[in-house]
Amino acid sequence: MDLSGRHILASRQALPSDQGFRAKNPKTNEILEPVFSEGGSSEVAYAADQAATDFDAFRAVSPLQRVEFLESIAAEILSCKTALIERCNLETGLPPQRLEGELTRTINQFKLFAETIKEKTFLNIQIDQGQPERQPLPKPDIRLTHIPLGPVAIFGASNFPLAF
C-alpha cells in the first residue's frame, strides 16, 4: 500500500499542498512518511460541490450496481488488510488485535449495507390502499418509500481509526 499523502477529490488526486503534517508513532516518537496534505475550506467546498453534482447520477444507479459498489469497497479494504493494520498500529499505537476487530467490523458494515439493498428493507415501502367507495369521502391511495435526497458527509472519530 503506497501512501501519497494527497487528497483524492472527485476521483482525482489533488496536488500536494504547502500545508501538511506527518504522523508520529506514539510509542517511539518516530516521525512517519509521507507528508499528508491538509485540506482547507476550499477542498471541503470542492468535495461538497462535486458530491452534489454527482448525486443525481448515483441516485439513478440500479440496486445491483449499488450492491456491487459496496461489496467492492469491502473487498478493496480486505485486500490491503495487513498493510492497513500495520500502518494504523504505527500511527495509533493500538494493538493489532483491536485494529483487526475494527477493520472486520467496518468490512461487515459495508456487506450489511449491501445486504440491506438486496432485501430492499431500506426502502421501508408502505402502501395504504385507497377506498374510493368510502363515505362520506373517498380514502386516497397513499404510498410511502425512502428515496435518496442528497450527499452525506461522514466524520469519523479518531478513537476508531478504521471505522467510518
d(CA 89, CA 3) in angstroms, rounded, equals 15
pLDDT at 122: 80
Cell 479494504 locates to 77
pLDDT at 16: 63
Output the nine-digit C-alpha cell for 28: 517511539
DSSP calls for the chain: -------EETTEEPPPPS-EE--B-TTT-PBPSSPEEPP-HHHHHHHHHHHHHHHHHHHTS-HHHHHHHHHHHHHHHHHTHHHHHHHHHHHH---HHHHHHHHHHHHHHHHHHHHHHHHTGGG--EEE--BTT-SSSPBPPEEE-----S-------TTSTT--
What does the pLDDT average to over 121-128?
A: 86
Which of the 8 DSSP states describes residue 80? T
Q: What band does 164 get if pLDDT is binned at 50, 70 and 90?
A: low
Q: What band does 49 get if pLDDT is binned at 50, 70 and 90?
A: very high
Q: What is the mean pLDDT of the chain?
A: 88
Greater model confidence, 68 or 60:
68
Task: Read off the pLDDT of residues 78-112 as tens digits, 9 standing for 90 and up.
Answer: 999 999 999 999 999 999 999 999 999 999 999 99
Greater model confidence, 158 or 146:
146
Task: Read off the pLDDT of residues 12-34 as tens digits, 9 standing for 90 and up.
Answer: 777 666 678 899 999 999 999 99
pTM: 0.78
What does the pLDDT average to over 106-128?
A: 91
pLDDT at 78: 96
pLDDT at 15: 66
pLDDT at 18: 65
d(CA 95, CA 51) in angstroms, rounded, equals 35
pLDDT at 160: 76
